[in-house]
């Protein structure tokens, strides 16, 4: 069994994907070719934003956003403590200071109450200037943007939506990657919309920011690539990856619907014996992961072991809170994130993709129930 079955996805759509790749090979427009322009238009329409600027990967997308806002030394950027390293890494790369904030236990996303407390603490200490909130749409569900936006407006902060895992999620009729002042996503292969290598995108309605982003991703270019008017980076999306994404975008909604059926089956079989994911009313998750909470790290190891014996993969996102990463020693603030520390010891992600069969999910549920029943005995 695959944790995220990209092989079955490929074989299901092999003809269309192969034709799209072959078209790029025949046209030999490997860098910033027609497929890239087509993809940017399609993604902007899907998300509901005026501009989509593709780039080399999701990490670059985040850094490009911070560079656009000229975030740097002396600035505080508020980041959830429970997320992938890049969400905070880019803050340090820009010379600013990440301030890590605890999460809500039910959604795994940034806790608005703890966020506001961290902002007020930063203001009262006076050492850093609050500038940006990085709101991560973790495991597929958008963050609480209603409250985040009110807090951002109150303290005059930018909202950077990290939609690397959330692409395809929704709040009402609005799509993920439409909630931040700037939003970003990743097309890493295992993401809800993934390519066959690295890729990323930035979304905004702001014309001036969009123009700056397009310059920054190509060495700070001006009128052409040999007219360099600012320091930028080399972060262009390969045309082959764009061609693959153009095909995959067409069946993304179908896959998200299937993932929601898989998630419902997991929840029905496990809700009385473990803590299952909570989807806030009015929201849709794109299910980048299906993550349960067990009672202890020892219980988690037993469940993982039994699943492995049955040939079933599982994963832990994330074993170490951001503030405990050695790279951030003496380079961050916000180290009292008790919910993050608890969840990092008890969370477990199960196989999740659109091609899981009902009997496969039933088998996973049965194994987990049996392990926990035997523990109780």
Q: Show me where the domains of the chain are located.
A: 6-250, 253-376
The conformation of residue 238, written as its DSSP 8-state character, comes to B
What pLDDT, on a 0 to 100 scale, did the predictor assign at position 205?
Answer: 98
User: Among 205, 74, 63, 208, which Cα is nearest to 131's?
Assistant: 74
Answer yes or no: are the C-beta atoms of 8 and 357 closer than 8 Å.
no
Token pair listed for 157? 């902060």
Answer yes or no: are the C-beta atoms of 63 and 93 closer than 8 Å.
yes
Q: What is the three-class DSSP state of 182? A: strand
Q: Is the peptide bond before 318 cis (omega within 30 degrees of 0)?
A: yes
What pLDDT, on a 0 to 100 scale, did the predictor assign at position 54?
Answer: 98
Q: Count CB atoms within 10 A of the CB of residue 306.
A: 16
Residue 251 neighbours by CB under 8 Å, 6+ apart: 13
What pLDDT, on a 0 to 100 scale, did the predictor assign at position 225?
Answer: 84
Answer yes or no: are the C-beta atoms of 310 and 282 closer than 8 Å.
no
Phi, psi of 326 (to 5 degrees): -60, -30
Answer yes or no: are the C-beta atoms of 187 and 201 closer than 8 Å.
yes
Token pair listed for 115? 């966020």
Answer yes or no: are the C-beta atoms of 243 and 24 closer than 8 Å.
yes
Residue 370 neighbours by CB under 8 Å, 6+ apart: 306
What pLDDT, on a 0 to 100 scale, did the predictor assign at position 116?
Answer: 97
Instruction: Please name the helix (run of DSSP H) or strand (run of DSSP E) that holds residue 295, with its range, or none.
Output: none
Q: Please state, rounded to an integer, the average pLDDT across all residues of the chain.
A: 96
Answer yes or no: are the C-beta atoms of 233 and 227 closer than 8 Å.
no
Q: Count CB atoms within 10 A of the CB of residue 331.
A: 13
Q: Domain 6-250, what architecture?
A: 3-Layer(aba) Sandwich (3.40)
Predicted confidence pLDDT, tens digits, the chain (377 residues): 999 999 999 999 999 999 999 999 999 999 999 999 999 999 999 999 999 999 999 999 999 999 999 999 999 999 999 999 999 999 999 999 999 999 999 999 999 999 999 999 999 999 999 999 999 999 999 999 999 999 999 999 999 999 999 999 999 999 999 999 999 999 999 999 999 999 999 999 999 999 999 999 999 999 988 999 999 999 999 999 999 999 999 999 999 999 999 999 999 999 999 999 999 999 999 999 999 999 999 999 999 999 999 999 999 999 999 999 999 987 777 768 999 999 999 999 999 999 999 999 999 999 999 999 877 65
Which single residue is written with the structure tokens 């299901």? 12
Q: Domain 253-376, what architecture?
A: Alpha-Beta Complex (3.90)
What pLDDT, on a 0 to 100 scale, did the predictor assign at position 373?
Answer: 85
Q: Model pTM?
A: 0.96
């Amino acid at each position: 069994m695959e944790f995220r079955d990209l092989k079955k996805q490929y074989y299901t759509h092999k003809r269309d994907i192969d034709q799209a790749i072959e078209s790029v090979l025949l046209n030999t427009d490997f860098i910033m070719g027609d497929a890239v322009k087509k993809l940017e238009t399609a993604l902007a329409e899907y998300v509901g934003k005026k501009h989509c600027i593709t780039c080399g990967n999701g990490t670059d997308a985040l850094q490009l956003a911070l560079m656009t806002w000229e975030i740097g030394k002396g600035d505080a950027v508020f980041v959830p403590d429970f997320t992938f390293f890049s969400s905070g890494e880019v803050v340090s790369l820009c010379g600013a200071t990440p301030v890590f904030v605890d999460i809500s236990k039910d959604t795994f996303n940034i806790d608005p109450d703890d966020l506001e407390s961290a902002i007020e603490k930063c203001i009262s200490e006076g050492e850093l200037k609050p500038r940006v909130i990085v709101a991560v749409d973790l495991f597929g569900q958008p963050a609480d943007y209603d409250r985040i936006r009110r807090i951002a407006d109150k303290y005059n902060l930018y909202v950077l939506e990290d939609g690397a895992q959330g692409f395809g999620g929704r709040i009402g009729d609005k799509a993920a990657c439409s909630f931040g002042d700037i939003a970003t996503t990743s097309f890493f292969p295992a993401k809800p919309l993934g390519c066959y290598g690295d890729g990323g995108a930035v979304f905004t309605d702001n014309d001036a920011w969009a123009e700056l982003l397009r310059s920054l991703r190509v060495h700070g270019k001006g009128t052409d690539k040999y007219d360099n008017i600012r320091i930028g980076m080399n972060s262009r999306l390969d045309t082959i990856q764009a061609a693959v994404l153009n095909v995959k975008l067409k069946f993304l909604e179908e896959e998200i619907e299937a993932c929601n059926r898989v998630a419902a089956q997991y929840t029905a079989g496990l809700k009385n014996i473990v803590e299952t994911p909570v989807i806030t009313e009015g929201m849709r998750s794109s299910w980048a992961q299906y993550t349960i909470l067990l009672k202890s790290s020892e219980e988690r190891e037993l469940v993982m072991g039994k699943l492995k014996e049955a040939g079933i993969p599982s994963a832990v996102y994330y074993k170490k809170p951001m503030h405990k990463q050695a790279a951030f020693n003496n380079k961050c603030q916000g180290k009292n994130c008790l919910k993050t520390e608890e969840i990092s010891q008890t969370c477990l992600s199960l196989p999740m993709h659109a091609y899981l069969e009902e009997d496969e999910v039933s088998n996973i549920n049965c194994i987990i129930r049996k392990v926990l029943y035997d523990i109780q005995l």
